[in-house]
Structure 1
Amino acid sequence: MKKNIVMLIISVVLLCHSVVAAQGLLVDEPEAMERMRGTVLEVKDQRAEDHFTIQVVMIEIDRGSLQGKVEVVENHLSDHPVYDIPVEPGDRVMLMKETLEDGTYELHITEYIRDRSIIMLLMLFVLLLLLIGRSKGAKTLLTLALTFFMIVQVMLPGMLKGYSPILLTIVSSLVITIATITIINGINGKSIAAILGIIGGLLVAGMVMFWAGSQVKLTGLSSEEATMLMYIPQAVQFDFRDLLFAGIIMGALGAVMDVGISVASAMEEVRRANPEIAVKELVKSGMNVGQDIMGTMSNTLILAYTGAALPLLLLFMAYDASVVDIINLDIIATEIVRALSGSIGLVLTVPLTAVASAILLKRKPN
């Protein structure tokens, strides 16, 4: 019980420290701008004007320099669901206060407040993790906090300082893998075998991805967010292909870890049931388990990437684009290489883990 409490405290500290560090990565806003929070009390009027609909809204300011005041705000809607933020009484919204040169100010609704619901969902996840997983759940929470810490404290700041995205991702992946496996399973033959298989699978996935990306001439600029990085205030000269490859490695890490530890755990149970089993038979048992796993895990990777690109695929189908035209688009080729590279690394994790487990487990005394 004490260990679980200690791990929970460490997890909270890591998460809080990472959140504070993430705030430090953000660029300071001009002094004339201030973010606020408020609650919509009433929509007093809604009228059409030119090509816009204007909501006249009464908002009580909950946080900021105007806290406690009730302000009347004009909310401009353009009938475009991507950019519009229509509100109704009871909605909690983010506001931007813009101070003008004459000392007056204007308030603009910039977004709905979603963090409270997200925090509640996170708390439900943590609660279920601890209730069902108990000590393993506390360890899992610690590894999640460590993963978040590595991403926010090591990877992202390092990339913004101009360090190699691939090198940072590989180092972070190694730390995350070793820490996750050893925290949850301890330091033993099973953990070492799983780590060796996972690292081997990731390295293979990285090499395949690098070769395939070079062959199909991926630019790394297929997403809108990547092109926006050209204009960030830090003025970092990113190699966008490196960023793409780093993202593929990180995206495959979770599935590869799952396969590696599953195969290693199954093989340890087989050896425990039959201590005299030969290395060849032990490898065969691991391969049989891995074959069952790899089908579902490969589907997991491919379905995850397909789900992310679903609106785009629907758009192509709606306009009867040919399969050849679709495959040759940079954005689609990127997702295909991402999914297939990760799946190849995942598949090769099975034999690598099986061989490593068989050798390490047979070296242990009965």
Structure 2
Amino acid sequence: MFSKEKIKFFICVLSLIFFLNGVTVLADEIDNSKSIDGIKATVTDIITTNEKNISKAENEGGIKEQQVKVLINTGNHKGESIIILNSVDTSMSNDFLLHKGDEILISIEETDGNIVKAYMYEYARDKYLLYLVLGFVVLMILIGGIKGLKSIFTLGVTVLAILKLLPTLLLRGYDPIKTSVVMSVGIIIFTLLVVSGSNRKTVASIIGTSCGVAIAGVIAKIVGDLTKLSGYGTEESQMLMYIPQNIKFDYKGLLFAAILMGALGAIMDISMSIASAMNEIDDANPNISTASLMKAGMSVGHDIMGTMSNTLILAYVGASLQSVILLIAYKVSFIDIINQNIIATEVVRALSGSIGLIASIPITVLASGMLRKREIEKSLDI
């Protein structure tokens, strides 16, 4: 009555609907919470704007003070209009001069349920980010069809696992190395099985990705220990020491987990690309020898390797670009730059991930070739 593909399609659609519904419910819960932070409001009028010079120096800038009328859109005071004072330091790039119609986040102070004071601390950007996500989802479905839908579903589950499940487990004191390894393997198996089904190329991809990620993790651990990376490379890692849960984190373990997660996507991509290409070659020419098929797979891997390594390294360089510019601006020597904890961390992160990516190529080719040879031998026995 219904083909397997149609059943899978309906399952994916229903799963996607439930996922998006869950996100919407979660967002509504956040918006309607009793918290006095993260309240959304819309600027309805600019009452006054005054400028005060704080220094006569040319580059010091000044202070602009705005009296702004805003309409509260979420929380317990939804529908109320209030006047807030917005002070803008014109010499600071992270201060905001408001305009009519701007959607902002405000924090309020209240006594006995009445607002005493409120101030703006950030623009509300979530609506436009949601539009971007919806555009991505629509494009994936239009171009990828059912596979695009499956990819969206697996991506949603992966994002929830990394942004919700992993931090929750780490905050409960679970070992970051063991947790990240188990989660990585779970993500690999789940994603590849849902997207490509249970077949030879999926198994080869799982083997190649798992081995590549494992190699990246081992190298990161060894080199991290040799270079005495502390895991305190960012402000966020240092701020973790003061969280209310009073957890003593294994910061080296957290660094290992971050490297593993960072390399996972790229390695999975290259493993599936090679396994899929070899499968297509085999389908187009069933009489090709296993040795020739593996040679073709390595040729595909060589072409992918350069661009994917560049992608991975450029992503990490981009993440630390401001730190590099800062060090160069103060004419810090190359030796001092490369030995900075944050820079060394990014170098280890980028190169260990790239090594894992490169290693996954011959492993995927070998796995795909051996699995194909085994299938041929079984068919001959029959």
Measured in 1, the distance between the counterparts of 2:313 and 2:24 equals 31
- Deviates further, 285-294 or 148-157: 148-157
User: Contact between 1:191 and 1:264, CA under 8 Å: does it hold in 2?
Assistant: yes
When residues 267 and 60 of structure 1 are mapped into structure 2, their CA distance, relative to the original with a 3 A threshold, is same
The partner residue of 2:42 within 36, 39, 44 is 39
Who is 2:58 aligned against? Answer: none
Q: TM-score, normalised by structure 1?
A: 0.92
Who is 1:115 aligned against? Answer: 126
Who is 1:361 aligned against? Answer: 372
Who is 2:150 aligned against? Answer: 139
When residues 100 and 77 of structure 1 are mapped into structure 2, their CA distance, relative to the original with a 3 A threshold, is farther
Who is 1:54 aligned against? Answer: 65
When residues 59 and 276 of structure 1 are mapped into structure 2, their CA distance, relative to the original with a 3 A threshold, is same
When residues 139 and 196 of structure 1 are mapped into structure 2, their CA distance, relative to the original with a 3 A threshold, is same
Measured in 2, the distance between the counterparts of 1:217 and 1:305 equals 20
Measured in 1, the distance between the counterparts of 2:27 and 2:72 equals 26
Who is 2:193 aligned against? Answer: 182
Aligned residue for 1:150, secondary structure, equals helix
When residues 188 and 100 of structure 1 are mapped into structure 2, their CA distance, relative to the original with a 3 A threshold, is same
Who is 2:346 aligned against? Answer: 335
When residues 121 and 102 of structure 1 are mapped into structure 2, their CA distance, relative to the original with a 3 A threshold, is closer
1:70 is displaced (CA, Å) by 1.9
Give the gaps of 5 or more residues in structure 1.
none
1:50 is displaced (CA, Å) by 7.3
When residues 46 and 287 of structure 1 are mapped into structure 2, their CA distance, relative to the original with a 3 A threshold, is same
Measured in 2, the distance between the counterparts of 1:195 and 1:19 equals 33
Matches within 5 A, 1:296-307: 296-307=307-318
RMSD between aligned residues: 2.4
When residues 102 and 302 of structure 1 are mapped into structure 2, their CA distance, relative to the original with a 3 A threshold, is closer
User: Contact between 1:263 and 1:350, CA under 8 Å: does it hold in 2?
Assistant: yes
Measured in 2, the distance between the counterparts of 1:19 and 1:238 equals 32
1:315 aligns with 2:326: yes
When residues 354 and 104 of structure 1 are mapped into structure 2, their CA distance, relative to the original with a 3 A threshold, is closer
Q: Percent identity?
A: 40
**1:155-184 Cα shifts (integer Å, max 9, x gaps):** 111001010111111111111111111111
Measured in 2, the distance between the counterparts of 1:243 and 1:82 equals 32
Measured in 1, the distance between the counterparts of 2:11 and 2:72 equals 39
Who is 2:244 aligned against? Answer: 233
1:4 aligns with 2:4: no
Q: TM-score, normalised by structure 2?
A: 0.88
1:142 is displaced (CA, Å) by 1.1
Give the gaps of 5 or more residues in structure 2.
1-5, 55-62
User: Contact between 1:40 and 1:91, CA under 8 Å: does it hold in 2?
Assistant: yes
1:133 is displaced (CA, Å) by 0.8
Measured in 1, the distance between the counterparts of 2:126 and 2:46 equals 23
1:80 is displaced (CA, Å) by 4.7
Measured in 2, the distance between the counterparts of 1:342 and 1:32 equals 40
User: Contact between 1:54 and 1:76, CA under 8 Å: does it hold in 2?
Assistant: yes
Who is 2:88 aligned against? Answer: 77
**1:187-242 Cα shifts (integer Å, max 9, x gaps):** 11111011001100111111100011011111111111111111111111111111
Who is 1:263 aligned against? Answer: 274
| Counterpart code for 2:13 | L
Matches within 5 A, 1:9-20: 9-14=14-19, 16-17=21-22
Who is 1:65 aligned against? Answer: 76
1:158 aligns with 2:163: no
Measured in 1, the distance between the counterparts of 2:241 and 2:42 equals 36
The partner residue of 2:97 within 75, 86, 89 is 86
1:85 is displaced (CA, Å) by 2.4
User: Contact between 1:35 and 1:97, CA under 8 Å: does it hold in 2?
Assistant: no
